[in-house]
């Protein structure tokens, strides 16, 4: 599998939180933020925010801070979120439904264009305004204009099979919500680990907290 080394991953993971706060501040009618404000809200150190903003390459105004609109644009550009990415959602179970209903994605430039499932009870029905298509029709339906991303919310047993199909259709990016390690060609990029990794972190935090192994530093 192709490996893409993405620099500044920790900063990238923090970006959506900044955006969330910035949009909120804009709604309140504010037009400038200081790193102090952002840091307080994010519960992190000032210098972390500073470095992150330096990364997106925006100049602020000393003693005043950063223009909120400019900062929003700069972060979105840094994340590539000003260009819309299209996706197909495969698997209309509860997780798929949740993802489809995650409104923020449209703001992040992700547009889910089609939904597939293999359950005959679901096929043909509508889910949040999308008709659910038969998984068996992936090839015929997506061949002419394949979306950028396939979002996989299928069962573990069908994950590889579905991955093969979306790859055959020309999709290069897979966001894999199953916990199966997919075997894919070199040019396909798979984004993995959503739930389990998060719980692992939480469990270890709890464990350390209880045993007093960790200083009560921030997070």
Partner DNA sequence: TAGATTGTTAATCGATTAACAATC
Residue list 35-74, contact with DNA (CB under 7 A): 35-36, 45-48, 50-51, 53-54, 58-66
* Residue 193 sits in the site that holds DNA (CB under 7 A): no
Residue placing its CB nearer to DNA in the complex, 51 or 128: 51
**Strand bridging mode 149-152 / 85-90:** parallel
For 216, counting Cβ atoms within 10 Å of its Cβ (0-12 exposed, 13-18 middle, 19+ buried), the class is: exposed
Please state, in angstroms and as integers, the Cα–Cα distance from residue 126 to each residue in 70, 73, 74, following that order.
39, 35, 37
Query: Shortest CA distance to 117 belongs to which of 96, 99, 102, 100?
Result: 96
Q: How far apart are CA 89 and CA 92, in angstroms?
A: 8
- For its own copies (CB under 8 A), the number of binding residues is 72
**Strand partners for 87:** 112, 149
106 binds its own copies (CB under 8 A): no
Sites for its own copies among residues 35-74 (CB under 8 A): 41-43
CB 17 to DNA: min, Å? 13
Is residue 204 within the footprint of DNA (CB under 7 A)? no
Q: How far apart are the first and last CA of the chain?
A: 33
- Residue 193 binding result from its own copies, DNA, none, given CB thresholds of 5 to 8 Å by partner type: its own copies
Q: Among residues 30, 125, 139, 205, which is the contact residue for its own copies, using CB under 8 A?
A: 205
Residue placing its CB nearer to DNA in the complex, 33 or 99: 33
Q: Which does 108 bind (CB under 5 to 8 A by kind): DNA, its own copies, none?
A: its own copies
Q: Minimum CB separation from DNA for residue 85, in Å?
A: 23
Of the candidates 47, 102, 137, 139, which one interacts with its own copies according to CB under 8 A?
Answer: 102
CB of 146 to DNA, least distance (A): 31
Q: How far apart are CA 199 and CA 48, in angstroms?
A: 25
- Per DSSP, the three-state class of 135 is helix
Count of C-beta atoms within a 10 Å radius of residue 186: 8
By the criterion CB under 7 A, which residues form the site for DNA?
7-11, 33-36, 45-48, 50-51, 53-54, 58-66
């Amino acid at each position: 599998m192709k490996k893409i080394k993405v620099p500044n991953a920790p900063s990238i993971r923090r970006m959506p939180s900044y955006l969330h706060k910035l949009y909120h501040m804009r709604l309140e009618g504010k037009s400038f933020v200081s790193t102090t404000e952002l840091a307080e809200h994010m519960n992190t150190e000032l210098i972390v925010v500073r470095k992150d903003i330096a990364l997106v390459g925006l100049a602020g105004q000393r003693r005043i801070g950063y223009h909120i609109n400019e900062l929003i644009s700069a972060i979105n550009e840094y994340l590539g979120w000003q260009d819309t990415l299209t996706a197909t959602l495969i698997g209309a179970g509860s997780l798929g439904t949740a993802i489809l209903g995650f409104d923020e994605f449209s703001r992040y430039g992700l547009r889910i264009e089609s939904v597939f499932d293999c359950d005959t009870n679901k096929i043909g029905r509508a889910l949040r305004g999308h008709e659910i298509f038969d998984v068996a029709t992936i090839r015929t339906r997506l061949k002419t204009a394949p979306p950028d991303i396939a979002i996989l919310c299928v069962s573990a047993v069908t994950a590889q099979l579905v991955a093969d199909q979306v790859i055959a259709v020309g999709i290069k990016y897979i966001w894999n919500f199953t916990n199966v390690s997919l075997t894919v060609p070199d040019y396909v990029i798979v984004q993995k680990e959503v739930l389990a990794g998060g719980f692992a972190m939480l469990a270890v935090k709890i464990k350390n907290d209880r045993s007093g192994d960790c200083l009560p530093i921030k997070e």
